[in-house]
Amino acid sequence: MLRTLAFDADDTLWHNETHYAETQEAFRALLRPFHDAAWIDARLHDTEMRNLSRYGYGIKGFTLSMIETALELTEDRLDGAGIGQVVALGKAMLDKPVEPLPGVAEALQALAGAFDLMLITKGDLFDQETKLAKSGLGGCFSKVEIVSEKDEATYAAILQRHGIRPAAFAMVGNSVKSDILPVLALGARAVHIPYHLTWAHEVVASPEESPFPVLESIRELPALLASW
């Protein structure tokens, strides 16, 4: 019997990738005199991937990767003012308000009585804690796990730590790579709610016939779970 229902945070409960996309557009504009947009995007992505093992996920690491990319693509010609602009882009992301996606608050409220709700998200600890506080959703969750990676080993450790059997656990998220496949591999359930933007690092090929439910909106989640 399903008892614990876990949620991803970014782009499942609130906007995240949209903020990154807006910041990347401003970053392209800054470097437009030096390179075209496709080349800037490719170099920034490569830099992020190289730095994941150093900085992990989150806005601070993304800002450092933007600075490194800007210096590389300008051959160190970007001056202090230009670097200051990149830092300002990162700070602006950190300062953005966090507003729940449509239907999130209502869905969590409807599910709270029937399930033990958990938040499992990856990224910088302070950044994710701040987002949760700004969102106003913190009181919905009895357990919060902020992790450096969301893979099979991480989920297994979380379940063991909280004494949760895989058969009693389900994960809801927007990333097939991070929220769905590792959970299914453990014998638990997962529900995919796609977001209109997906970071390239999170993109994986989905099977033609999904072995997991795919919803258009979190508003559909209570009815799905009732059918289970």
Least Cα distance to 104 among 215, 199, 227 occurs for 215
C-alpha to C-alpha distance for 46 and 107, rounded to whole angstroms:
37
CA gap 5, 111 in Å, rounded: 9
Q: What is the DSSP string of 128-147?
A: HHHHHHHHT-GGG-SEEEEE
pLDDT of residue 27: 95
Residue type, 221: L
Determine the pLDDT at residue 18. Answer: 75
Contacts of 140 (CB under 8 A, 6+ apart): 108, 109, 112, 117
Could you tell me the end-to-end alpha-carbon distance of the chain, in angstroms, rounded to an integer? 9
Query: pLDDT value at position 210?
Result: 63
Give the tokens for residue 129.
């804690």
Alpha-carbon gap, residue 2 to 118, rounded angstroms: 13
Spatial distance between the Cα atoms of 78 and 176, rounded to a whole number of angstroms: 38
How many whole angstroms separate alpha carbon 182 and alpha carbon 204?
13
For the chain, give the number of residues: 228
The model's pTM is: 0.84
DSSP reduced 3-state for 33: coil
Rounded distance, CA 78 to CA 73, Å? 9
Residue 211's pLDDT is: 80
**Domain boundaries of the chain, sorted by first residue:** 4-14+99-227, 17-95
pLDDT digits (tens), the chain, 228 positions:
899 999 999 889 988 767 788 899 999 999 999 999 999 999 999 999 999 888 888 889 999 999 999 999 999 888 999 999 999 999 998 998 998 999 999 999 999 989 999 999 998 899 999 999 999 999 999 999 999 999 999 999 999 999 999 999 999 999 999 999 999 999 999 999 998 655 444 445 555 556 889 999 999 999 999 998
The predicted structure's pLDDT at residue 200:
46
- The DSSP secondary-structure symbol of 13 reads T
Fold of 4-14+99-227: Rossmann fold (3.40.50)
Residues 17-95: name the CATH superfamily.
Putative phosphatase; domain 2 (1.10.150.240)
